[in-house]
Structure 1
Amino acid sequence: MNNFLTGLAMGAALTTAGVYSPDIILSQFIFQDFTMLQTFLTAAASSTLLVTTSQSLTLTTLPPRPASTLDLLSWTRYDGNILGGALLGAGMAVCGACPGTVLAQLGVGVRSGRWALVGAVLGGGVWSWISRRRRRTGGDGERQQQKTGKNLDSRDGKLAGTGKGEMAYEALGISRAAMLIGLEAGFVLALAAAVKFADAPAAKARGIPPYVAGLAIAAAQLVSMVLRGSLLGASTAFEELGGWLWGAKKYANLVFSAGIVGGAWLASSAVPALRPVTDVAVSPVRAVLGGFMIIFGSRMAGGCTSGHGISGLSLMSISSFLTAAATFAAGGLTGLLVG
C-alpha cells in the first residue's frame, strides 16, 4: 500500500508540474521552453535539503548511488552512468518522455505515451535478459572486485560496508555541510539564470510557476521517505516487468508505477486544466524507439531522471552527477539533430 500511495503522490506531482507533457520535454531539448529545467532545479534543490537533513538527523540511512560499471571505457568505472545517461537523454529527446513521465502520460491519456510504454517494456525485457546473463557469467561485481581487491555487496555492486568513493564531497575532500552549501548555491544561481535569461512559456500558459511545480515533486519525495524509507525512482519497474518474460516475477515497483498512473489520472480528472493543451504528434515508431532508449539507458546507468536526477543528486552521489550531466548533454544534442 505504501508503494501505491507514494506512486499516487508522484503521479499527481508530475501532472501538476506539467513536466509529463511531451511538448514541454521536447521543447526543452530544442531550447525553446525551459519549464522542465526550472522545475528540475527547484525539485533537486528542495529534495537535497530534505534528504541531507534526514540523513544528518539519522532519520534515514540511505546509501549513495553506486557506480555502474560496464568495462567499456577503460578510464572510468562510471562508464555505465555516462553511456546510459546519454542514451536516456537521447531517448527523451526522441519520444518526449522519461521513465516516470511515461506512466503519467498513460494516466493523463497522452497518445504517444502508449507507444512509448511499448518500447519501455521491450527495453526492460532486453535489459533484464542481459542482466541475467551477466550475473550467471560473473558480471560487474566480480570484475570490479578483481580491479579493487575489495569485497562487494552483490546486491548493488557497492564496496561492502561502505559508501566511500561514491560521495561527491568525499571525492572533493570537503564536508557534507560544505557540499550542501555549494550545491544549493549552484542550484539557486542556475535557477535564477534560467528564470532571467530563458523563457518558460508552458509554465506561464498553465499558470503554475516552475518553482511551485518543483516543490510539488519534492513533496512527493518527502512522501516516499516517510512511507517507504526510500527515494523516488521509476525505471526499475520496467526491468521488473521485463523480468516477467524470463520468470522473475516481482511486484513492489510495479505497484509504485500503478500508483503513478493512478495519481496522474486523478489529478487530471479533478483539474482538467492540467491536461496538455495540444497532444504533440510523436509518431508511433519514434515513440517506441525512444521508449526503448529511455529504459535501456536508465537501467544501464542504474537510475533515471528521478532516480539519479532528483534522488541521486540529493544523496550527492558521484554517479548521479555524471548521469544527469550526460542525460542533459545528450538530450540537447539529440534535440537539435531531430527536433
Structure 2
Amino acid sequence: MAKASSLLVGAAFGFVLEKTKVYVPSVIVDQMLFERFTMLKMFVTAAAGGMVVMSVLESFGLFRRAPKSPVYLGLGLLGGFGGNLVGGVLLGTGMSLSGSCPGTVLVQLGAGLRSAWTVMAGALAMSSSYGYLLRYVTAVIPTFGKKGEPLATVDQRYRIGYVPMALSVALVCGVGISILNTTHPWQSELPDMYKNATLTRLGTGYYAAVADPRSVAWSPVVGGLILAAVQGVSILSTGCTIGASSAFVELAAKAVTALDKNWRTHAPYYAAFRGSNSIFLAVGVVAGAATSAWLSGAASYAAAMPAAIPVGGVGRDFVGGALLLLGARIAGGCTSGHGISGIAQLGIPSLITVAAMFGGE
C-alpha cells in the first residue's frame, strides 16, 4: 500500500511540476538570480498551503510534525548549523550550474529534456560515492554530518501554538505571493516557447489554467495549492512528507549493496536507505511529468528546448548534478524536503538551508 501511495504521490508531484514549468532550466537559473519568480511562487504557495494542511491534520491528531534536525559540519563553527549552511550553498551552486534540482531533474527526464540524463548521471555518481567519502571524512572529523538534537520550531521558540502561527505565516505568504503575481504575472514569465501556445489556449484568466489537464501550463500559484493537497495525501497515505533526494541514495544503496560485499565496512551510510519507498515516488514523478507533457503536447517542444533554453553543457551539467546531491546529503534534505515540507513545519534548520541555497548562486 505504501509503495502504491508513494507512486501516486510522485505522479501528482511530477504532473504539477511539469504543468507549472518550474522544471525548465532557465526558470530555475533565473530564480536563483531573482530575475524570474515562477519557482518562488509555486514553492512558497506549496509551503504556505502545507502549513494549512498540517494545521488541520495536527488539530485532528492525524499528524505529528517531525521537522529536520540541524546538521553539524564538525568544525565547531556556524552555530551547529554548519551542515545546513554548507550543504545549502552547494545545493544552490548545483542548481545554478545545472538548471535543475533533485526533484526537477526527474521531471526533466519525464518531459524529455536531454540534459537531464547528464545531470542525473552526476547525481547518481555522487549518491553512489558519498557513503564511501563520508567514511574517510568522519575518520578525520568524527561529527561531520551528524544530526543534532531536534530544535524548537519557530512557533515553539516564540511560545505560540503551531496552528495560529502557521495560519498567520500562510496568510502573510499569500498576500506576498498575490502582490508578486500582480507585479510579475505568471503568463509573462513563461519561457517564450510555451507562452504563445498557452495564452492562445487559455486566455488570460488567473485560474483558467487549472481547468484543463491538456493545458500547456498552469499558474504556479494553482500548482502550489495542488501540491499542498498532495502533501496532505502523502502524510495520510504514507506517513511521510514530500522529499526527493533520498530516492537517489536509495537507488545508490541498492547498487552498492549488490556490488560491494563489504559495504557494511566500506560504506555503512547506505544501511539507512535500504528499506524506504523513495524510488517509487521518483518513478511516479517521472511518469507524472511524462503524462502531463503528453496530454498538453508539450513533449513536442523537448527537441527544441536545448536551443531555446540554453543549458550548461555536459561537463557543467554533470558537476551540477553531483553538487545537487552532495549538498542535499550534507544538509539532510533538498528543495522539496527542506523547501516545501521543512518550512511548512516551521523548522529552523530548513529555513537556514533554503536561505543558504540562494547564497550558492
Give me the TM-score of the superposition, normalised by structure 2. Answer: 0.79
Matched-pair contact (CA < 8 Å) for 2:74–2:142: no
Q: Indicate whether 1:202 and 2:212 are aligned.
A: no
Matched-pair contact (CA < 8 Å) for 2:38–2:189: yes
Which piece of structure 1 moves more, 91-100 or 170-179?
A: 170-179
Q: 1:104 is matched by which residue type in structure 2?
A: V
Return the offset for 1:93.
1.1
Per-residue CA deviations over 1:164-212 (Å, capped at 9, x if unaligned) read x241222233332342144213312331342234454234924522211
Q: 1:252 is matched by which residue type in structure 2?
A: N
CA distance in 2 between counterparts of 1:89 and 1:215 reads 24
Matched-pair contact (CA < 8 Å) for 1:17–1:216: no
Return the offset for 1:226.
2.6
Per-residue CA deviations over 1:47-104 (Å, capped at 9, x if unaligned) read 1111122122210123111111122352411111111111111111111111010111
Gaps of 5+ in 2: 199-216, 258-269
- Matched residue, 1:291: 321
Return the offset for 1:134.
6.8
Matched-pair contact (CA < 8 Å) for 2:113–2:305: no
CA distance in 2 between counterparts of 1:259 and 1:91 reads 24
Where does structure 1 differ by over 6 angstroms across 4 or more consecutive aligned residues?
A: 134-138
- Matched residue, 2:165: 179
CA distance in 1 between counterparts of 2:142 and 2:10 reads 32
- Matched residue, 1:281: 310
- Matched residue, 1:219: 229
Which piece of structure 1 moves more, 178-187 or 201-210?
A: 201-210
- Matched residue, 2:67: 64
Q: Indicate whether 1:269 and 2:294 are aligned.
A: yes
Return the offset for 1:140.
4.0
Give matches, 1:66-85, under 5 Å: 66-85=69-88
Q: 1:235 aligns with which of 245, 253, 265?
A: 245
Matched-pair contact (CA < 8 Å) for 1:105–1:113: yes
Q: Indicate whether 1:34 and 2:7 are aligned.
A: no
Q: 1:169 is matched by which residue type in structure 2?
A: D
For the pair shown, the structure with the greater C-alpha radius of gyration is 2
Q: 2:305 is matched by which residue type in structure 1?
A: T
The 3 A distance-change label for structure 1 pair 316 and 272 is: same
CA distance in 1 between counterparts of 2:351 and 2:326 reads 19
Give matches, 1:66-215, under 5 Å: 66-131=69-134, 139-140=142-143, 157=147, 159=149, 163=150, 165-198=151-184, 200=186, 201-203=188-190, 205=195, 206=198, 208-215=218-225
Return the offset for 1:232.
0.4
Return the offset for 1:46.
0.8
Matched-pair contact (CA < 8 Å) for 2:154–2:347: yes
Matched-pair contact (CA < 8 Å) for 1:46–1:218: yes
CA distance in 1 between counterparts of 2:349 and 2:72 reads 10
Q: 1:171 is matched by which residue type in structure 2?
A: R
Matched-pair contact (CA < 8 Å) for 1:235–1:303: yes
Matched-pair contact (CA < 8 Å) for 2:47–2:339: yes
The 3 A distance-change label for structure 1 pair 158 and 56 is: farther
- Matched residue, 1:324: 354
CA distance in 2 between counterparts of 1:131 and 1:223 reads 35
Q: 2:46 aligns with which of 38, 43, 47?
A: 43
Return the offset for 1:131.
4.2
CA distance in 2 between counterparts of 1:260 and 1:14 reads 9
Give me the TM-score of the superposition, normalised by structure 1. Answer: 0.84
Return the offset for 1:158.
5.7
Return the offset for 1:245.
4.5
Per-residue CA deviations over 1:270-317 (Å, capped at 9, x if unaligned) read 222476673323211111111111111011111111100000011111
Q: Indicate whether 1:4 and 2:15 are aligned.
A: no
Matched-pair contact (CA < 8 Å) for 1:67–1:166: no
Matched-pair contact (CA < 8 Å) for 2:26–2:310: no
Which piece of structure 1 moves more, 231-240 or 24-33?
A: 24-33
Per-residue CA deviations over 1:238-285 (Å, capped at 9, x if unaligned) read 122223443155562112211111111112112224766733232111
